[in-house]
Structure 1
Amino acid sequence: MNRSLLSLTAIALVASLLAGCAVAPGNALDTSHLHEEEPSGSAPTYEVHRVTAQTIAELVAAQQATPRPLPESRFPSLKQYSYHIGPQDILGITVWDHPELTTPQGTSFSSGGNTTQTIAGALAQPYTTALPGQADPYGQTVSSDGSIFFPFVGRVHVAGQTPQQVRDRLAAALTPYIHNPQLDLRVLAYRSQRVQVTGDVRSPGPLAITDVPLTLVDAITRSGGATDNADLQRVRLTRGGKSYSLDANGLLDRGEVSQNVMLQDGDIVNIPDRTDSRVFVMGEVKQPTAVQLIRGSLTVADSLTTAGGILDTDANPRQIYVIRGMRAHPNSPEIYRLDMTQPDALLLSTQFPLQPFDVVYVGTSAAVQFNRVMQQILPTLQTIFFTKQLTK
């Protein structure tokens, strides 16, 4: 009679414990309101490429053989660049031996208000407008229709022309009034054309296009330089509604001068951060983590070292996988496997180039998989054993 009572008590205890799992505290999700459909058809299979020296050579050659598209430039080279005048530019005109036609040679200018701006101040801020209550810098300001007024000549359209062309036109127009006119023209303030620099630079903002050609490196330098988190490998240039990706690292590290494009009016240069330059290290490593590319490059050895290395007791050194292309081609990724038990594995791991959003996965050894299964089963077996002992 006592044995039967103990049996019933043990069974009731086990049942209450099992029932209590539904209300036990912890990170347990109630799946009663979820409906998951079983996948139809057979599971897809993916081809795995074994990493060899030839594999690495082919990857490097393919990467170098895929040039990035570059924007078209108005000028074939820096030597052929010339500045073209535009509206709001301020011109200084000098006619020798005719001071009445020459721009006043003052050192400051004011409209009679409380503010006065020096010539140096005007040149230091070529993309700004006049201060409140203040006139534009002394000189001929190009109007919105692209013209200026000059004595004896009248309205002259100058927009879209170089200073040399405008100088020759004015000299020719003054010939009936002045014998052999000696005329000089220069731009006092460049205000018509600008480039916007945004992103991870220390001083983002507009930069004026001047008579000195402005290149990508010049724009980054004049903006205070890139920050420590800037991704110079993927500088984004927007021109004419199209976006281009430029590699400033390739220019600075490998001398790829083609990446140092000449900027023009309306360009937007964005220096992104390194969010899109990550590699994910998972599996049997000491510290699964996301690793940032270092100056646009990273190898398998770099990523594993950053993650603390593989677990000596749990990892399968034959299964070091690199999964590539999941973001762009989720149904057809490229998978590479590195066998770290081979003599040349360490050398290959330092040469295999990773790309942004690659996944480096370290597999689990068969013995560890069996042990983990047993760890899940043993508590249940122990419960059954103790229950049986109580019912005896």
Structure 2
Amino acid sequence: MSLKHQIIENFDPNGVSTHDSLFGLPFDEDTAEMIIIPVPWEVTVSYSPGTADGPEAILNASMQVDLYQDDIRDAWKLGIHMLPIPSAIRELSDKHRILAANYIHWLEKGSPEEDLERFAAVPGLINKASVEMNEWVYEQAKKYSAMGKMVALLGGDHSTPLGLIKNVAESNENFGILQIDAHADLRVSYENFEFSHASIAYNALKLPQISKMVQVGIRDYCEAEAIMAKENNRITTFYDKDIKRDGYEGKAWKIICDEIVAQLPQDVYVTIDIDGLDPKLCPNTGTPVAGGFELEQVLYLIKEVVKSGRKIVGFDLVEVAPGVEGDEWDGNVGARVLYRMANLYAASQGRLNLK
């Protein structure tokens, strides 16, 4: 009997969690089939901080998630393991967040000339640190994908998945991105930061392997982003107001999902910004926007992607931020998104059976 089978035999999925690990599961990086990369990073956040604490908040809340999935038998046996939260990345984030916050405040004051010398070098320093973070994520993803693991990422702000997407592009010549988000994230840069959380979609599209970017739930965007989304034939955007209008006029969510799925190529990377949900489900996220989805709407859509025969080749969950001490609501919701996404990812890869 293999070590993994021994672990499974000795684990009670119905009992109280006794493992201080993601979802209370007993697997490590050797016995788990899926590796979650935590990235505690929020250097370029432009509204409220806190997303760097997202991975820890989800980890803590995950031990209250029941493991049973009624449409995926024995889903927990796949084995999911989250790597240790990297202190070096967190320290790099905290250090450069102070620089970025002061610089953003200077911009908001109109960039006074007397402080120009003090702040002129900040964008370069932030961009350099962001490259370092992206390279760390890329190397982690490369290491574990080379071991045959499925790899996902848990942010941090929405700038964090670029290294994982780059790794996915190295083994997939043609794939699409399904982006669940309140924001288009198509800015060439934001506040002079090339790797801003508001630029992840734009930066991802620099990779020629990405044949389609399908954005769903977008409801907060600038004119330049609207023009780019309209003129770039690799982008299809399902705006929140249009989805709501269609629903009000009688179009079923199933039909809307069919239209979304039809825009995707065979292989799909899924990026989920938690602010794509209704803010009642993520009140402490960095840039909440009124509107958005119920949790089950998003999970239904992802299941429809899998049922269509398309293959998920990676995913991330970002922008979860905890509230005040003792408030685990955002982490609780995020943990449930993460567990379900992990299972659907594995089902699309044929490692779990979806009914």
Structure of higher CA gyration radius: 1
Larger strand proportion of the pair:
1
Of structures 1 and 2, the one scoring higher in RCO (CA 8 A, sep 6+) is 2
